[in-house]
Amino acid sequence: MSSSNSRRLNIDNINPHVRAAKYAVRGELAVKSEEFRAALLRGTSDIPFSQVISANIGNPQQLDQKPITFFRQVLSLLENPLLLENEDVLINHLGYKTDVIERAKWFLKNVGSVGAYSASNGAPAIRQHIAEFLEKRDGFPANWQDIYLSAGASSGVNTLLHIICADEKSGILVPIPQYPLYTASLSILNATCVPYLLDESKNWGTDINTIKESYQKAKDAGVDTRAIVIINPGNPTGASLSEEDIRAVLEFARQERLVVLADEVYQTNVFIGEFISFKRVLRQLQKENPDGKYDCVELASLHSVSKGMVGECGHRGGYFELVNFDPEVQAEIYKFVSIMLCAPVIGQCLVELMVNPPKPGEPSYELYQKEYRGIYEGMRERANALHKAFEQMEGVECGAPQGAMYLFPTINLPPKAAEAAAKEGRTADEFYCMKLLEATGVCVVPGSGFGQKEGSLHFRTTFLAPGTEWVGSIVKFHKEFMDQYR
């Protein structure tokens, strides 16, 4: 009896739905890039680049981005409240402003120790401040009891899909291309992904007719489509939806009784157009229709501290707001989140800081504003530099940077490249991205990891990495790749 054969678990008998899930953002290429990084640290000499650039994932603080000082000063006091016994030292020797100290005291009074479990749906005082933020943002009231803190938006999506999907016939409309959290979570839940294509020719906007066709096709196949996911601004596309597009989606959701899942984590990462929340448009429609016909449209909107100018991915903070949900369903959501006890409390505090930053006139405002603008402008500059490089590259098409943290260029590769890829058992975009990594150390994600229109090829790159050298190395690689396979 061989011991390895007699283990209980093997690849063929574990949960087949986990096995079926795909998550390319941290897949083979990412693993390979970490191997390169480790080899470089060991001083391996036969690697043709000197550093790995992780452009595969929106992880700002792994790269150039510094955290916002005000946020981190407050968090340092929450981690060590004993520091508050020496306010004069904090102020006179360490540059802490009085509003930092006041905010920390507010947290300690209203939330308590960050080492204690909070309420499972989040500390009430924090949820109240989120509601105030939403009221200001949207111009409509928000109810703090409809707000649920989560460990990043990913955990919120996981909760919502768990509630909505009842069985394998339950379908969720998911944009293609999409952030693969959605398809992976649906695989694991053994529910049905109902893909709808975004329109690259219209800056990756939604096309309501395409959505309707996908919905109808699924219906004909017996799928019970229950919800539609919208990522706005888009990931991987960066596109911001117009109010018209949002209205069309909400009207369709009303007609077909679909829950709307609005992934709005990039709401402050907007370079072209403006961010308009689904909540605002839904409340507007409710106001315009006193017959109540929109009062049945259920919306869950998600936000996170990981993106925007905050970029605090490692803290795993986020929330979702439920609009027009049934109280009995909300009670089940509460029960579901309570099984994992609560979201990280220090991450919850960061959510509060994000939605309630220093205001004009307050001691920390000037520095906060300077840092915030600096991060925003830095991202835009890097996005434009990268875009300019793509414009020079043969067979590469890429719209102007619109938002989020990504560019998602089309790559037109020669047939010989596709043949070479097939020989390695890869798609052409995977092949291209692997060669790019091996030649330059730049790790991007092939378009197939997000889904793309049949016959088209893309890759997603963040524009977070500092410097321009890595951009130059992509241009050089691309030319050589095309020369080899043209």
Which residues between 222 and 241 bind a copy of itself (CB under 8 A)? 226-227
If phi over 0 gives left and psi between -120 and 50 gives alpha, with beta otherwise, what is residue 229?
beta
Q: Is 64 strand, coil or helix?
A: coil
> Among 60-68, 201-209, 243-251, 370-378, which window interacts with a copy of itself (CB under 8 A)?
60-68
| Range list of β-strands (E), 84-223 | 147-150, 170-176, 192-197
Minimum CB separation of residue 343 from a copy of itself in Å reads 8
13, 44, 255, 369: residue in contact with a copy of itself (rule CB under 8 A): 13
The distance of closest approach from Cβ of residue 200 to a copy of itself in the complex, given in angstroms and rounded to an integer, is 26
Asked if residue 64 binds a copy of itself (CB under 8 A), the reply is no
* Closest-CA residue to 211 (of 190, 192, 225, 224): 225
Which residue in the block uniquely carries the two structure tokens 């960066």?
Answer: 238
Report which of 434, 435, 441 is spatially closest to residue 470, judged by C-alpha positions: 441
Do 345 and 100 form a contact (C-beta atoms < 8 A)? no
From residue 77, alpha-carbon distances to 52, 71, 107, 224 in Å are: 35, 10, 10, 50
What's the closest the beta carbon of residue 483 comes to a copy of itself, in angstroms? 35
Cis peptide leading into residue 233 (ω within 30°): yes
Rama region for 343: left / alpha / beta (φ>0; ψ in -120 to 50; rest): beta
Question: Considering the rule CB under 8 A, would residue 62 count as an interface residue with a copy of itself?
Answer: yes
Task: Please state the closest distance from residue 156 (CB atom) to a copy of itself, in A.
Answer: 11
Q: Smaller CB distance to a copy of itself: residue 115 or 222?
A: 115
- Report the residue from 33, 56, 120, 237 that binds a copy of itself according to the rule CB under 8 A: 120
* Burial annotation 415-424 (CB, 10 A radius, 16+ → b, else e): eebbebbeee
Q: Could you say which residues in the range 449-468 bind a copy of itself, by CB under 8 A?
A: none
Site for a copy of itself contains 33 (CB under 8 A): no
Q: How far is the CB of 248 from a copy of itself (least distance, A)?
A: 18
**Site for a copy of itself contains 18 (CB under 8 A):** yes
Q: Quick one: which segment of 130-138, 183-191, 231-239, 476-484 binds a copy of itself (CB under 8 A)?
A: 183-191
436 and 479 Cβ atoms separated by less than 8 Å: no
- Residue 275 found at the interface with a copy of itself (CB under 8 A): no
| 242-271: contacts with a copy of itself (CB under 8 A) | 257-259
Q: Is residue 41 a contact residue for a copy of itself (CB under 8 A)?
A: no
Dihedral class, residue 290 (left if φ above 0, else alpha if ψ from -120 to 50, else beta): alpha
Q: At a CB cut-off of 8 Å and minimum separation 6, what does 361 contact?
A: none
CB within 8 Å of 209: residues ≥ 6 apart: none
Instruction: Tell which positions 347-406 bind a copy of itself, by CB under 8 A.
Output: 347
Applying CB under 8 A, the site for a copy of itself has a residue count of 101
Q: Is 422 in the site for a copy of itself (CB under 8 A)?
A: no
- How crowded is residue 328: how many other Cβ atoms within 10 Å of its Cβ? 7
Output the smallest distance, CB 392 to a copy of itself, in A: 31
Tell me which residue of 309, 277, 271 sits closest to 399, measured CA to CA. 271
Residues 241 and 230 sit within 8 Å (Cβ to Cβ): yes
Contact of 253 with 260, CB cutoff 8 Å: yes
Q: What element of type H or E holds 301?
A: strand 299-304
Give the shortest CB-165-to-a copy of itself separation in angstroms.
6
Question: Looking only at residues 200 through 219 of this chain, which bind a copy of itself when binding is defined by CB under 8 A?
Answer: none
Nearest distance from residue 185's CB to a copy of itself, in Å? 7
Say whether residue 119 binds a copy of itself (CB under 8 A): yes
Neighbours of 135 (CB within 10 A): 13
Which is nearer to a copy of itself, 214 or 306 (by Cβ)? 306
Q: Establish if 181 lies at the interface with a copy of itself (CB under 8 A).
A: yes
CB of 318 to a copy of itself, least distance (A): 11
**Both tokens assigned to 167:** 């069985």
Q: According to CB under 8 A, which one of 44, 89, 377, 422 is a site residue for a copy of itself?
A: 89
Cα separation, 30 vs 316, whole angstroms: 20
Region binding a copy of itself by CB under 8 A among candidate stretches 129-137, 291-299, 409-417, 455-463: 291-299
How near is the Cβ of 1 to a copy of itself at its closest, in Å?
8
Q: Residue 143 interacts with a copy of itself (CB under 8 A)?
A: no
Which helix H or strand E contains 321, and what residues bound it?
strand 318-323
Given the rule CB under 8 A, which of 115-123, 128-136, 264-272, 382-390 is the region that contacts a copy of itself? 115-123
Confirm or reject binding of residue 279 to a copy of itself (CB under 8 A): no
The residue within the footprint of a copy of itself, chosen from 344, 401, 446, 451 (CB under 8 A), is 344
* Angle of CA points 149, 153, 158, to nearest 5°: 95
Span 293-322, contacts to a copy of itself by CB under 8 A: 293, 295-296, 298, 306, 311-316
Would you say 414 and 420 are in contact if contact means Cβ atoms under 8 Å apart? no
Amino acid at 327: P
- Residue 281 or 343 with smaller CB distance to a copy of itself: 343
In angstroms, give the least distance from the CB of 186 to a copy of itself.
Answer: 11
